[in-house]
Structure 1
């Protein structure tokens, strides 16, 4: 997954995963992070991944939306 266009947001994907694993993270935030990560790995997308240029754009958009919704809760996981 750390290749191609997704490589630009790979650190954010890893931060979401660390957030999910933290027992002290709020459950509402964990739900957002889990949903985004499931969408990223799911073979069922709004735009299929095999479409050049657009295939991973929806995945990246969902990850970035989750990052923006989690805001300051996620900052400490981005620098680990």
Structure 2
């Protein structure tokens, strides 16, 4: 029951962050994810460490992998662990990509001010 409440709270926080006035919109955040990953790998964006990026990658691997910690045939428990990982992954990616978009805007504004 506690995990269900935590997942609902995480989903609510993500929704509020994405819909906050002045915040990057959902489509902008999604399009920024590949740029963010490249920037982290190149070392151009320190807001997301390579360790957390690797953890996010493991989350993707876990979701697409045919092997599960809790097999899906165990009623709802097997699906619930996948859903929990999916919810965490989406919340983490959308939150971090929003911060990355704001970082990009600050960098662009900084370059414009230098001119």
The alignment's TM-score, normalised by the length of structure 2, stands at 0.38
Q: Name which one, 1 or 2, has greater alpha-carbon Rg.
A: 2
Which protein is richer in helix relative to its size? Answer: 2
The alignment's TM-score, normalised by the length of structure 1, stands at 0.50
